[in-house]
Amino acid sequence: MLFRDISPVLADPAAFRVLTDALVAGLPAGTDAVVGIEARGFILGAAVAYAAGLGLATVRKPGKLPVVRHRVSYSLEYGTATLELPEDTIRSGERVVIVDDVLATGGTVAATQELVEHAGGVVAGVSVILELAALKARDRLPGLDITALLTA
């Protein structure tokens, strides 16, 4: 498995600003909040939410939340995983954008979409730094507005 490391971009203030500004520029009109996926999506999501003047909800791995609204287990290319959404972080009808670093198979985004919709929110879009096109995540995420800064 090849790991894409964004640490050098995050460590460079100018590069991090350019990256954040590009993600913010791609937000759909009418976005109410950002959802960051653990763990790198927390970093990016927080920066995007702050720069856009929006709130941030975080989707976590199990066992890290005092009160869980809903949990979803899903398949990955290398096993299974579970994500949880904290109670009272997404309001009914709220339009959110899911932010993460890499879009691979789409499983994590699909699970996050399920969490958002279970909470009554609407996924207005997905924003990532890199999309791995060969893994065909868009086929698994029909109808979602996906913005990738780079496609490989």
Tell me the pLDDT tens digit for each residue of 51-110: 999 999 999 999 888 888 789 999 877 789 999 999 999 999 999 999 999 999 999 999
Domain 30-151: assigned CATH number:
3.40.50.2020
Question: 46 in helix, strand or coil?
Answer: helix
Vertex 51, ends 50 and 54: CA angle to 5°? 50
Sign of the Cα pseudo-torsion (95, 99, 105, 109, in order): negative
Catalytic residue among 60, 77, 87, 91: 77
Q: Distance between CA atoms of 10 and 20, rounded to whole angstroms? A: 10
pTM: 0.94
40 is catalytic: yes
Catalytic residue among 40, 84, 94, 131: 40
